[in-house]
Amino acid sequence: MVFALIGGGHPMAKSVTEAQLRIPALQLLAKSKTGFMRTSRLIDELADIFKPEGKDATIIPKRSDTYFSQKVRNMISHRGSSVSLQRRGFAVYHKDREGMEITDAGRAFWVNSNYHTTDAALVTSAAFWKLREVSLTYNVPVEKVFGSTKVLKAATLGVVGRNLLMWRPKTNVWTDPEFNTNGATSNAVGYTNEDQTPPTRVFGFRVNLTF
């Protein structure tokens, strides 16, 4: 079983971006019987997936759309963007039918990608903040501590800690988003399984003496 962790924004943020909408939208089109979905239905289906809250759930002043539904409309209307589903040839927009339809290229991408073989329940944000390493060094005042001595000229004490803290979304209950179980030949990150152990917190201590 493989968990594909899809990158998101700041771990504490709950606002959905257009980029986060594209793959779920393609999935909905691929699973639709006709491959077509009206914009209004696509908004409803995506809302069921993302469950917008906060500002995303707020209605835009003097508009009928929420900030979330407007992002879905923007994702569809920004057809000229290099990363849009339409520009990549994965979907087309039918103005007369007011909706999107998946293309053969879109179906091929979905079927042959890891998105297709990963259960939706096991796809989560790979956003994180880390306190990766802290190092503290103290130069011991030799003369003040040991008095005048010709044997010891200098002394330094140091401590270091790695993987001290990590903040990630509550939806990521598995492991470090930077982990990869695809093997040493792959540079992919965010692929892991239930056998992956948590990151190891490491502490070190050093003493440097100059005689």
CA–CA distance, 207 with 137 (Å, rounded to integer): 10
Judgement on whether residues 83 and 65 belong to the same structural domain of the protein:
yes
User: In a structure prediction context, what are the per-residue pLDDT tens digits for the chain, which is 211 residues long?
Assistant: 344 444 444 444 467 888 888 888 998 998 888 899 999 999 999 998 888 888 888 899 988 899 999 999 998 888 888 778 888 889 999 999 899 999 998 888 887 876 666 655 556 777 888 898 999 999 988 888 877 777 888 889 999 999 898 888 877 766 787 777 766 666 666 666 666 677 789 999 999 988 8
Judgement on whether residues 84 and 59 belong to the same structural domain of the protein:
yes
CA–CA distance, 59 with 10 (Å, rounded to integer): 23
Q: Which domain-ending residue is among 68, 103, 125?
A: 125
Judgement on whether residues 103 and 118 belong to the same structural domain of the protein:
yes
Closest CA to 189 of 175, 202, 171: 175
Judgement on whether residues 36 and 52 belong to the same structural domain of the protein:
yes
Judgement on whether residues 170 and 142 belong to the same structural domain of the protein:
yes
Full residue range of the structural domain in which residue 22 is found:
3-125
Number of structural domains the chain divides into: 2
Amino acid of residue 28: L
Res 146: pLDDT: 78
Judgement on whether residues 120 and 137 belong to the same structural domain of the protein:
no
Positive or negative: CA dihedral 62, 67, 72, 77: positive
Judgement on whether residues 38 and 83 belong to the same structural domain of the protein:
yes
The pTM of this model reads 0.51
Judgement on whether residues 163 and 182 belong to the same structural domain of the protein:
yes
Q: Which domain-ending residue is among 97, 125, 153?
A: 125
**In contact, 210 and 171? CB cutoff 8 Å:** no
N- to C-terminal Cα separation, the chain = 57
Q: Which domain-ending residue is among 125, 153, 168?
A: 125
CB atoms within 10 A of CB 126: 20
Judgement on whether residues 8 and 88 belong to the same structural domain of the protein:
yes
CA–CA distance, 93 with 81 (Å, rounded to integer): 14
Judgement on whether residues 107 and 95 belong to the same structural domain of the protein:
yes
Q: At what angle do helices 39-50 and 67-77 cross, to 10 degrees?
A: 130
Q: Which residues pair with 154 in a beta bridge?
A: 210
Computed on alpha carbons and rounded to an integer, the radius of gyration of the chain in Å comes to 26
CA–CA distance, 1 with 192 (Å, rounded to integer): 8
Judgement on whether residues 192 and 162 belong to the same structural domain of the protein:
yes
| CATH number of the domain that residue 112 is part of | 1.10.10
Judgement on whether residues 34 and 109 belong to the same structural domain of the protein:
yes
Q: Which residues 6+ apart lie within 8 Å of 128 measured at CB?
A: 11, 166, 167, 168, 172, 176, 177, 178
